Amino acid sequence: MKKTFKANNISCMNCANLIKGSLEDDFGTIEVNLEATPKEVTVEIENESKELEFKNEMADIGFDIIED
């Protein structure tokens, strides 16, 4: 299912391209909404372990997911 996460530290298209380039091989198509505040990242998540992996990978490249 598609899931949208709010993330810190995303400021521009270069950030969006870094996220896509780093993670799309593992997670498929990733959409980054640069218009939202905070910025939103939408990705297809299959299960909880994949969601946790995605959050950890985002943190590893410098973009922490904001927990609701």
User: Which residues are CB-contacts of 23 (< 8 A; sequence separation ≥ 6)?
Assistant: 30, 43, 54, 57, 58, 61
**What's the rounded Cα separation, in Å, for the pair 18 and 28?**
14
- Please tell me the predicted confidence (pLDDT) of residue 6: 98
Residues of the chain with pLDDT below 70 are 68
First to last CA, the chain: 18
Contact predicate 64/7, CB 8 Å = yes
What number does CATH give the domain 2-60? 3.30.70
Q: What is the pLDDT of residue 57?
A: 98
Global confidence as pTM: 0.94
Take residue 30 and report the two structure tokens written for it. 């990733």
Residue 67 has what pLDDT?
Answer: 86
